Structure 1
Amino acid sequence: MTDTKTPLLDINDLHVHFETNSDKDVHAVRGIHMHIEKGETVAVVGESGSGKSQVMMSAMGLLADNGWVEGSVKYNGAEILGLSKRKLNSYRGSKMTMIFQEPMTSLDPLYTIGRQICEPLRVHQKMDKKRAMARALELLELVGIPEPKKRLKSYPHEMSGGQRQRVMIAMALANDPDLLIADEPTTALDVTIQAQILQLLADLQKKLGMAILFITHDLNIVRRFADRVYVMKTGEVVEEGNTAEIFDNPSHDYTRMLLSAEPEGTKEAPDTGAPVLLEGKGVNVTFNITSGLFGSQTHTLRAVNNVDIRLHQGQTIGIVGESGSGKSTLGRALLRLTDISGEVLLDGVDMSEIAGDAMREQRKRLQLVFQDPFGSLSPRMMVGQIITEGLLVHHPELSAKERDLRAIEALEEVQLDPSMRNRYPHEFSGGQRQRIAIARAMVLKPRIVVLDEPTSALDRSVQKQIVDLLRDLQEKNNLSYLFISHDLTVVRAMSDYVMVMKQGVIVEEGLTEQIFDAPTELYTKQLMAAAFDLEPISA
């Protein structure tokens, strides 16, 4: 019989190393101690690269091939570090399970949801196909999937992000685990879906009595969800304690920095007489939806529905809404990167009447910065080449030396060392890559920049730096921004005007202060409650 005082998971003096191509190995985790009691919720927080995920990957025996571990990991008093894969599998998927940040990369696109949920049931409980499918249906009902019987036959791409994350939770719960490890499970989700997933986990925890280990860089979630907190920096635990104590009386400078890393301040609206640079009148974007082997059309989807928008010089319009609301499509429509009906006017001129060289001349005034800089920067080009690529198109008269000087100026403007221009994107952190993406846009001296979720993939401390950088660049160059995001904290700090989208329609718009402090539409109120409700989550 197990001693009730024995921690469910007990990690002692854990070190994680990775072999690299250089002479020096990476010491990613440095002698940390952690424990999780039965039924409690523990959060591990820290910036990217702090080692928080590697701790749990080590405990689960999921390290990359070039990694190795020293120390002790005990489950219910039994040492599991160093067990063979066969013995470790008796713990993984049954007693300890894990859900990851991006369910689309964790779910197999070739198999139905039902088949994927059945797999751990058939492996660990030796269920036959009929019993496993019946249990899979129960699990989908448990995690609140609508039409669960129908969804058993669905493929991952046929479900929304929130539904896919619920499927991952269902798979993790299949064998009634004692410990659920959740690695950034809500980072990629909208605020309303995020709130639903957190509430679901709290309800399931109360119902099933399991412990939850929550890995995240979002301190608002930690405040609402966790009993205890471990704060990690560069592979070490720098502070630990009860959640209220950590938030109210942090003792370490790094913890204080994390807590103060929220984007702050407000943006003043431009003068009422500021000229209108970009205007959309009755903008519509429609997509033909196809299915089947030969792509026969089944129906049309109106992604943007009769939207009017006016962007003044020096203004930042924040466009908010859940995934699928049409906000990114609207941004691309205003840049004329997709077919539309309606009018888009640039300095009063209908852009549909501009073509050829004249359109190319206008393109340099309109720039776009994407959500994922790693995906939008060519891995085969050095940073200097990436930044100056647009100059080859828009300023072919410049010499190679002149382009290089422009790259140096652009890197200095985004506060990066110009000597870095001879490196490749993979040699930079996420925040540095986003600065490079911004430099690529700024080198053409644009007047309007569309920022599509430019901070959502970044830690809060890095988000704050990017927000401050974008503000400085806007003030220095008198830029106008369209800021597209589902992160309402960042939108409030960046924007002087906000438009709320739902299913392609603007449901509410107004000055930032008005939208955030006194929203009138139910949908807007729901978004605000999901983003800023700091009450603890209770089952």
Structure 2
Amino acid sequence: MTAETTRGTTALLELAGLDVRFDTPDGEVHAVRGIDLALKSGETLAVVGESGSGKSQAMMAAMGLLAKNGRAGGSVRYRGREILGLSSRALDEVRGAKIAMIFQEPMTSLDPLYTIGSQLAEPLVRHKRLSGRAARTRAVELLTLVGIPEPERRLRAYPHELSGGQRQRVMIAMALAAEPEVLIADEPTTALDVTVQAQIIELLRSLQRRFGMGIVFITHDLGLARHFADRVAVMRYGKVVEEGPAGEVLTRPAHDYTRMLLAAEPTGTKPPPPGDAPVVLEARGVDVTFQIGGGLFAGPSLEIHAVDKVSLTLRQGQTIGIVGESGSGKSTLGRALIRLVDARGDISLFGHSTGLIDAAGLRALRRQAQIVFQDPYGSLSPRMTVGEIIAEGLRVHEPGLDARARERAVIAALEDVTLDPALRNRYPHEFSGGQRQRIAIARALILKPRVLVLDEPTSALDRSVQKGIVELLRRLQKEHGLSYLFISHDLSVVRALSDWIMVMRHGQLVEAGPTEEVYRAPAADYTRALIAAAYGLDGTAPDARMA
């Protein structure tokens, strides 16, 4: 049965007067303020807004997945049945089988102790009653559908052995396994490069047409919302400020806030540093391989060549943008350059070969070369307050600082990333995805490093906050002479922040050069395909978007 034949007037999922509150050490937080939303069969409803607008918490409440300090009121109905307040056992008959959710941060949703194959098979066995062999066959089909290469091999991999984008695609496959009627997709393409974004959107469309599935698409990317959604609801401060057909809301917005969101886009270009600027990082022939599987019962191990003889030179005040599809090796390269993963080749930080110094010397160098990870929630301890997390590096590298001095440094770091220092006594789960990313940036900046490896630092942020973070990074770079390795799949952000760009594919360097030269006249077919996908995804001509 198709979406066209099932679409009707009765809502599959209906939120009425939904209200969400959290108890925190600083008082009650009113996250969602009595919103009304409805989703029909075969329809895609995009819920858009800035980080902290309440869009994700509204859907977490609908699924009965709020944190322990959260409570929800109002009504959530699935096919007319009230599900808000049901017991976990009763909800489990709905969740997964009838309503499924793709979460924003895949690493925290995948069990690190189980293989991808085991985790994909679980919903197939539970909800579809498949045998183990049939579940494995279906798991391979699902990984193929979401664009994972060599799916049979990947079944044996663990989550940490996949790239961020690949983990997100596994989450999508798991959500679709039981063929639910309602799919809540919370930033499902955040960690994906632009070419795979387009593939995932088309995949969701085809499944929607086949099963009449309703989709709630939570996103900060208005281009994707315009491209994919039938209707759009714009949220701010826990309220729906505008709702209507996507074509109307995103071309003729009635609310000032919606107009502001549409106008937000990282802009400008970065001039290169002086030609005689000192070299802070130099790498020659960096090579990284990983072994997957192996052992007495797992069969022979498999070798993956993640980075294949890549070289670069980073100068003081320079930003090198490293782009490529998920699994291209760009994040692995960034980790290898500061010795977070083992690598072959020659790597020199601040004139010191990292292969020739001891652990103590490497620790001293790492204070000057910090990293901001792609998955902020996975890198922030849930047992520590934000203030304790940000101050942790000072405890290691400046043990002589007293508590008052650390507190002043934490406040300054939070102000640098435009977060209210009064929030420092809260825990990571009490923040939105974008706010957690800013916390991760503050934790790295507090040590005043000379080199910062930024691994998708804006991937979880809405456009208006991305613009602010780009401006923040520019200011910090100018004031302190910082050097950045900026790893991203978002070509518009890379263009605004980088003066040199490296394009990677399958672990190899495809193309490198001054950013504007590469964007305006790419030499490699692959680079041209990336730029066309990035600037043409919402139907706008690349030249018009890049002018």
TM-score norm. by structure 1 comes to 0.81
Partner of 1:67: 71
CA deviation digits over 1:394-423, x for unaligned, max 9? 556666666665555555555556676676
Q: What code does the residue aligned with 1:47 have? A: E
Paired position in structure 1 for 2:501: 498
Q: What whole-Å deviation, never above 9, does each CA across 1:489-535 have from its counterpart, x for those lacking one?
A: 22111111110112221111111112223222232233223322234
The structure 2 residue matched to 1:31, chosen from 29, 34, 53, is 34
- Post-superposition Cα deviations, 1:366-395, rounded to whole Å, max 9, x if no partner, equal 222323444444556666665555455555
The match for 1:41 among 32, 40, 44 is 44
In structure 2, do the counterparts of structure 1 residues 114 and 427 end up closer, same or farther at CA, with 3 Å as the change threshold?
Answer: closer
Cα distance, 1:59 vs structure 2: 4.8
**What is the match of residue 261 of structure 1?**
264
CA distance in 2, matches of 1:426, 1:275: 41
Are residues 231 and 3 of structure 1, via their aligned partners in 2, closer, same or farther at CA, if it must alter by over 3 Å? same
- Which deviates further from its counterpart, 136-145 or 326-335? 136-145
**Alpha-carbon displacement from aligned partner over 1:176-214 (angstroms, at most 9, x marks no partner):** x3x443333222333332221111111222334443332
Q: Is the 8 A contact 1:112 1:156 kept in 2?
A: no
CA distance in structure 2 between the aligned counterparts of 1:233 and 1:239, rounded to whole angstroms: 9
Counterpart Cα distance in 1 of 2:211 and 2:341: 48
* Alignment of 1:206 onto 2:212: no
Please say if 1:242 is aligned against 2:245.
yes
Is the 2:7–2:42 contact (alpha carbons within 8 Å) kept by the matching residues of 1?
no
Instruction: Verify the 8 A CA contact 2:22 2:31 in the aligned structure 1.
Output: no
Residues 306 and 138 of structure 1: CA distance in aligned 2, closer, same or farther (over 3 Å): closer
1:474 aligns with 2:477: yes
Q: Aligned partner of 1:171: which letter? A: A
Measured at CA, do residues 276 and 308 of structure 1 come closer, stay the same or move farther in structure 2, by a change above 3 Å? same
- Is 131-140 or 209-218 further displaced after alignment? 131-140
| Percent identity of paired positions between Structure 1 and Structure 2 | 54
Instruction: Please state if 1:304 is matched with 2:310.
Output: no
Which residue, out of 163, 167, 179, partners 1:161?
A: 167
**Other structure's SS at 1:291 match:** coil
Q: What is the CA–CA distance in structure 2 between the aligned matches of 1:304 and 1:500, rounded to whole Å?
A: 13
Q: In the alignment, is the contact (CA less than 8 A) between 2:108 and 2:378 conserved in 1?
A: no
Contact kept, 8 Å, 1:15 with 1:28, in 2: the verdict is no
Q: How far apart, CA to CA, are the structure 1 residues paired with 2:466 and 2:316?
A: 24
Write the distance in 2 (CA, Å) between the matches of 1:393 and 1:103.
29
Q: Which amino acid aligns with 1:332?
A: R
- C-alpha distance in 1, partners of 2:155/2:409? 54
1:121 to 128, 136, 154: 128
What letter is aligned with 1:67? R
Check whether the contact 1:114–1:152 (CA below 8 A) recurs between aligned residues.
no
Say what the alpha-carbon RMSD is for the aligned residues: 4.2
Counterpart for residue 508 of structure 1: 511
Which residue of the partner structure matches residue 218 of structure 1? 221
Q: Separation in 2 of the partners of 1:152 and 1:416?
A: 39
Change (3 A) 1:317 1:146: closer
Q: Which consecutive unaligned segments of at least 5 residues does structure 2 have?
A: 541-547
Q: Aligned-pair distance for 1:91? A: 6.2
Unaligned runs of 5+ in 1: 123-127
User: What's the secondary structure of 1:274's corresponding residue?
Assistant: coil
Q: Which amino acid aligns with 1:73?
A: R
Q: CA–CA distance in 1 between the matches of 2:281 and 2:521?
A: 27
Cα pair 2:243 2:249 within 8 Å, conserved: yes
**Cα distance in 1 for residues equivalent to 2:292 and 2:539:** 42
* Candidates 525, 534, 538, aligned match of 1:531: 534
Q: CA deviation at 1:359?
A: 5.1
**How many pairs align?**
526
Amino acid at match of 1:119: R
Residues 197-240 of structure 1: CA distance to partner in whole angstroms, max 9, x if unpaired? 11111122233444333222221210111121111223321101
Q: Secondary structure at the match of 1:185?
A: coil
Structure-2 change in CA distance of 1:4 and 1:342 (3 Å): closer
Cα distance in structure 1, aligned partners of 2:409 and 2:27: 36
- Taking the aligned partners of 1:133 and 1:90, their CA distance within structure 2 comes to 20
Structure 1 pair 332/137, CA: closer, same or farther in 2 (3 Å)? closer
Task: Report the AA paired with residue 77 of structure 2.
Answer: V
Structure 1 residues 100, 435: closer, same or farther in 2, change over 3 A? closer
Matches of 2:356 and 2:262, distance apart in 1? 51
- What are the within-5 Å matches in structure 2 for residues 67-466 of structure 1? 67-71=71-75, 73=77, 75=79, 78-81=80-83, 96-102=99-105, 109=114, 111=118, 113-114=120-121, 116-122=123-129, 129=131, 136=138, 140=142, 143=145, 157=159, 160-161=166-167, 163-173=169-179, 177=181, 179-293=182-296, 298-355=301-358, 361-378=364-381, 386-387=389-390, 389-391=392-394, 394=397, 410-411=413-414, 413-415=416-418, 431=434, 433-466=436-469
- The answer to whether the 8 Å contact 1:192/1:527 transfers is yes
Give the 3-state SS of the residue equivalent to 1:269 in structure 2.
coil
After the TM superposition, which of the residue ranges 471-480 and 66-75 deviates more from structure 2? 66-75
The whole-number CA distance in structure 1 between the counterparts of 2:26 and 2:390 is: 32
Give the whole-Å Cα distance in 2 for the aligned partners of 1:254 and 1:130: 51
